[in-house]
């Protein structure tokens, strides 16, 4: 596995690089956010591990720039900011996972493997379809009635899970764990916010709604019955 590590703390960088290489992975290290952005724009890697606070360009800005450019490389954000709002901000900004410092290397490795597993699973089935909505997992493109629907990173991940489980109820907890890979505080509204955004793109412009709320349970996706 090829991994980009963007970390300006030499001790942390050495610790992570050594551990990953001992586990058979190839690591390219940069210590500046601008270098991390440039690397991901012009090089392929399986996962990017980005420190939140870096010189030149902080990690969240790097992720936002990558997503705006259409780059879908899985991103694990490292940060000393452990409060819920900071984690939500990072994940909504386009990061795929969030790990708070200090951390155990075994957890870092497990999260990296989880991110690459998701990427592999995505490639197994090239396209998902529910009623007149299709989701191309290779080009990461959604279409309904021939119209292309622009989706942000988390919206795409959320829609993919709903479509993979079409006709079944997906709980809010399942979505938090699968899309954000984190157990948030009970009062977070990140799922509701993203469902609302999805509905504005997937359902509202069309006659038949596909995303349905199951009260006190979660959400399900299906066409007309």
Residues 213 and 118 grouped into a single domain: no
Same domain, 115 and 144: no
Measured at the alpha carbon of residue 61, what is the angle toward residues 59 and 66, in degrees to the nearest 5?
95
Same domain, 8 and 113: yes
The answer for 87, left when phi > 0, alpha when psi is -120 to 50, beta otherwise, is: alpha
With bands split at pLDDT 50, 70 and 90, how would you rate the model's confidence at 143? very high
Residue of 10 and 165 predicted with greater confidence: 10
More confident residue, 119 or 153: 153
**What pLDDT, on a 0 to 100 scale, did the predictor assign at position 225?**
77
At which of 101, 122, 143 does a domain end? 122
Average pLDDT of the chain is 87
- Reported as a pLDDT band with limits 50, 70 and 90, residue 183 is low
In angstroms, how far is the first alpha carbon of the chain from the final one? 45
Residues ≥6 apart with Cβ < 8 Å to 171? 217, 218
- Which phi-psi region, left, alpha or beta, contains residue 120 (left: φ > 0; alpha: ψ -120 to 50)? alpha
Q: What is the pLDDT of residue 3?
A: 95
| pTM confidence score | 0.58
Total domain count, the chain = 2
- Identify the domain containing residue 75 by its residue range: 2-122
Report, as an integer, the average pLDDT of 15-44: 93
Cα–Cα distance between 63 and 81 in angstroms, integer? 17
φ and ψ at 63, to 5 degrees?
-60, -45
Q: What mean pLDDT is predicted for residues 30-37?
A: 95
CATH number at residue 75: 3.40.50.2300
What does the pLDDT average to over 185-192? Answer: 75
- Kindly state the DSSP code that residue 56 receives in the 8-state scheme: S
Q: Do 93 and 52 touch, CB atoms closer than 8 A?
A: no
> Same domain, yes or no, for 108 and 143?
no
* Residue 222 pLDDT class (50, 70, 90 cuts): very high
DSSP labels, 77-106: EEES--SHHHHHHHHHTT-SEEEESS--HH
CA distance 113 to 103: 16
Does residue 38 carry a pLDDT above 60?
A: yes
pLDDT surpassing 80 at residue 13: yes
Poorest-pLDDT segment among 47-56, 82-91, 92-101, 202-211: 82-91
**Are 36 and 147 contained in the same domain?**
no
Q: Which helix (H) or strand (E) is 110 found in, with range?
A: helix 105-124
Check residue 221 and give its pLDDT.
Answer: 94
Residues 148 and 109 in one domain: no
Identity of the highest mean pLDDT range in 58-62, 89-93, 151-155: 58-62
Confidence label for 174 from pLDDT (cuts 50, 70 and 90) = confident
pLDDT of 72 strictly over 90? no
pLDDT of residue 119: 61
The CB density around residue 72, as the number of other CB atoms within 10 Å, is 14
Q: What is the pLDDT of residue 98?
A: 84
């Amino acid at each position: 596995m090829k991994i980009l590590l963007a970390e300006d703390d030499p001790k942390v960088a050495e610790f992570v690089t050594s551990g990953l290489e001992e586990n058979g992975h190839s690591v390219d290290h940069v210590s500046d956010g601008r270098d991390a952005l440039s690397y991901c724009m012009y090089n392929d890697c399986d996962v990017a591990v980005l420190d939140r606070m870096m010189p030149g360009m902080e990690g969240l800005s790097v992720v936002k720039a990558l997503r705006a450019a259409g780059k879908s490389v899985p991103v694990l954000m490292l940060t000393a900011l452990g409060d819920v709002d900071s984690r939500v901000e990072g994940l909504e900004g386009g990061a795929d996972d969030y790990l708070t410092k200090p951390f155990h290397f075994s957890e870092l490795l497990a999260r990296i493997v989880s991110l690459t597993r998701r990427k592999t699973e995505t490639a197994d089935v090239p396209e998902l379809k529910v009623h007149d909505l299709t989701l191309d997992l290779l080009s990461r493109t959604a279409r309904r009635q021939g119209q292309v629907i622009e989706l942000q990173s988390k919206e795409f991940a959320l829609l993919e899970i709903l479509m993979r489980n079409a006709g079944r109820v997906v709980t809010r907890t399942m979505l938090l764990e699968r899309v954000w890979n984190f157990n948030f505080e009970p009062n977070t509204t990140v799922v509701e916010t993203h469902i609302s955004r999805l509905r504005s793109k997937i359902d509202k412009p069309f006659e038949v709604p596909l995303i349905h709320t199951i009260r006190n349970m979660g959400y399900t996706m299906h066409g007309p019955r």
